[in-house]
Structure 1
Amino acid sequence: MTETARGLGEFDFAGDDHVVPFHVEGLDVRGRAVQLGPMLDAILERHNYPLPVARLVAETVVLTVLLGTSLKFEGKLIVQTQGDGPVDLVVADFSTPDRVRAYARYSQEALATAEQDGRTEPHELLGKGVLAFTIDQGAHMQRYQGIVELDGATLEEIAGAYFRQSEQIPTKVRLGVAELLDRDENGKPRHRWRAGGMVAQFLPDAPERMRQPDLPGGDGEEGEALELFTEDDLWSEAKVMVETIDTDELTDPTVGTERLLYRLFHERGVRVYQPQAVYDRCSCSREKIRGVLAGLDREDIENSIEDGVIKVTCEFCSTTYRFEASEVRPQ
């Protein structure tokens, strides 16, 4: 947050596909909020996912955007779920300063069975596995990865558990996804996706105020340690405020990010920073794909050649790259 903070209304409203950093001085809370529209639509339309899968991808994109735009260096944040459910992989990555991409892998047969049985909640689609956050600062820097089990009914609960266990910063995450069915300028029916989210963190000047109750250790009576812990009053207030947000407020373009922030925190003096735009932009390229092929051995190359060419399709953006066999055969 290097930009000067301003009061709400001192510059134009951010609108869709712009992350709004904010600071609530009266609560010692900082965070980021966003509403996604056309950018998210472009990602989901490209893949034409079944509705339950599209919702998972949308939530993952929102979470990735909220966290990725906080990076202060040139690099990439990768958010990935991997489990044994019908949707065994969801991955989204944010490349600084503003590029987002995402895709999911799922079993059509297992998904159909889950839908027939009414098992379409996130934890039922993902199954048992992990949620991983990976920060990549480039070829000459070591990657950082944080992992948490897929232990929660929703992605926001799972993400909250990650911050609780790994970051040690009191954090509240809210994510929401909505489908819009309306008509275009020609009166034809159309389907659109919207999503929104917020991450709020308690960052007081005195670090000891950030202390949270210890995780259950297995000794003694259940809940005994929690009874001895008193949460900071300001953070308790902030959490209650964030928990009042419903999905409509997160996704409705007539509400907007700034109006939502005002509704939540105006009595405590919320300030916002310059919005940051995010775009549906893949980082794949012909040269990068060529480099991957150059790392394959001769047998793999020969097995990949069909009718004298190798075709490689990017899983994120669905762009297909075509290489003549002579371009990629080892010399």
Structure 2
Amino acid sequence: MAEIASALGEFDFAGDDHVVPFQVEGLDVRGRAVQLGPMLDAILARHHYPAPVARLLAEVIVLTVLLGTSLKFEGKFTVQTKGDGPVDLLVADFSTPQNVRAYARFDQALLDKAVAAGETEPEQLLGKGVLAFTIDQGKFSQPYQGIVALDGTSLEDIAGTYFRQSEQIPTRVRLAAAELFDRDQAGQPRHRWRAGGLIAQFLPEAPERMRQPDLHGGDGDNAALAHKEDDTWTEARALVDTIDADELTDPQVGIERLLFRLFHERGVRVFGTREVIDRCSCSRDKIKNVLKGFSEEEIDASQENGEIAVTCEFCSTTYRFEVVEVASAAE
């Protein structure tokens, strides 16, 4: 049975950590939007990353949530960046139906140098490299991976380029992350991370309307062959571009209010929300199964004082194994 959409104003606000699918019939646009609060804060709090790294990872988490919840699949969807900048690795994955985890890797010396020089924009921290999207539906299915270059632009622009090049779908992505300093109910100072994002895609019934202007330097650079962007999509993209970063992270705004402000004149409707939670898929049994593949020499090199400790990079949980236990598993 198809899910019934609601006009804005006919439902309660979804709140933090709930993805809101939407449709703008007058603009042939479908999309998703989300504000992340407690879930995001829990992930970042356990890692204690420097603020520029935390903010960058927050944007990747938002992108992962927006894209992962849009897929009809069972398995894991991963967004990963690899670059030559101070933050050389960012990984976030969404496991169905709702679990999210993430971590970052960075060079402290290079990061300190970048901060001192005021070079903390995402494109400056990531450098040149690749952004990869991977869908893994388990051992009985071949993983699918899409890759786009980190080309010195923002993550939201790079994601839009991916959809344009690989999916041929006109897409606009907006991402934002912010630190909040306020007080809790007891009046005590507190620090929180929030993030938000929106993805809008132009999906008209007539596929020829999805044509876009050719990319600079491509085969279609000839002005006589260049495609004109559909006026309806031009309008939709312009509306999305009016979003301020603060609106995506402000808990007082809310996603539904933001969607209404953007699209109410064009008939925006929303569908059932989908909650996402902070939950890692690691376990003692999974780690032990990995150690079963270690050779005797590798086990000996990994142990200290008769014990092997393995820390999950995603959730920072440490699992400890007696050497005798692991060695017997490896026999």
TM above 0.5, yes or no, is yes
What is the one-letter code of the residue matched to 1:307? N
Match of 2:263 in 1: 265
The Cα offsets for residues 20-47 of structure 1, whole Å up to 9 and x where unpaired, read as 0001111110000000111111011110
Please tell me the root mean square deviation across aligned C-alpha atoms, in Å. 1.6
SS at 2:193's partner residue? strand
Q: How does 1:177-326 map to 2 (within 5 A)?
A: 177-217=177-217, 224-225=222-223, 228-326=226-324
Compute the displacement of 1:113 (Å): 1.0
Percent of matched pairs sharing the same residue: 72
So what's the TM-score if we normalise by structure 2? 0.96
Q: Where does residue 35 of structure 2 map in the other structure?
A: 35
Shift of 1:226: 8.1
CA contact (8 A) 1:18 1:35 kept: yes
**Partners of 2:224 and 2:188 in 1: how far apart?**
56
- 1:77 corresponding residue in structure 2: 77
Corresponding residue for 1:147?
A: 147
Q: Counterpart amino acid of 1:212?
A: Q
Say which is worse superposed, 204-213 or 170-179, in terms of deviation. 204-213
For 2:135 and 2:207, the matched residues in 1 are separated by 25
Q: Give the residue type in structure 2 aligned to 1:255.
A: V
Checking the alignment, whether the CA contact within 8 Å between 2:99 and 2:276 is kept in structure 1 is yes
Query: Does 2:138 align with 1:138?
Result: yes
Tell whether the 8 Å contact from 1:213 to 1:226 is kept in structure 2 after alignment: no
User: Cα 1:226–1:292, aligned 2, differ >3 Å: closer, same or farther?
Assistant: farther
Deviates more, 1:55-64 or 1:162-171: 162-171
Aligned-partner residue type, residue 252 of structure 2: T
* Structure 2 residue matching 1:287: 3-state secondary structure: helix
> What TM-score, normalized by structure 1, do the two folds share?
0.96
Structure 1 residues 226 and 42, CA gap change in structure 2 (3 angstroms): farther
The whole-number CA distance in structure 2 between the counterparts of 1:277 and 1:226 is 48
Three-state SS of the structure 2 residue aligned to 1:15 is coil
| Shift, 1:248, TM fit | 1.3
Superimposed CA distance per residue, residues 267-294 of structure 1 (whole angstroms, 9 cap, x where no aligned partner)? 1111100110000000111111111111
SS of the residue 1:90 aligns to: strand
Residues in 1 aligned to 2:170 and 2:264: alpha-carbon distance in whole angstroms: 21
CA drift at 1:143: 0.6
Q: Which of 119-128 and 16-25 deviates more?
A: 119-128
Contact 1:310-1:323 at 8 Å conserved across structures: yes
Q: Which amino acid aligns with 2:237?
A: K
Query: Residues of 2 paired with 1:10 and 1:48: CA distance?
Result: 40
Q: Which residue of structure 2 lines up, in the alignment, with residue 166 of structure 1?
A: 166
Kindly state the Cα deviation for residue 118 of structure 1 after the two structures are TM-superposed.
Answer: 1.3
- Is the 8 Å Cα contact of residues 85 and 126 (structure 1) preserved in structure 2? yes
Once residues 52 and 2 of structure 1 are traced to their aligned partners in structure 2, the CA distance between those partners, rounded to angstroms, is: 42
Query: What runs of 5+ residues in structure 1 fail to find an aligned partner?
Result: none
Query: Residue 214 of structure 1 contacts residue 225 of structure 1 at CA under 8 Å; is this kept in 2?
Result: no
Which AA in structure 2 matches 1:156?
E
Alignment correspondent of 2:58: 58
Stretches of 4+ aligned residues off by more than 6 angstroms: none
How much has 1:218 moved relative to structure 2?
A: 5.6
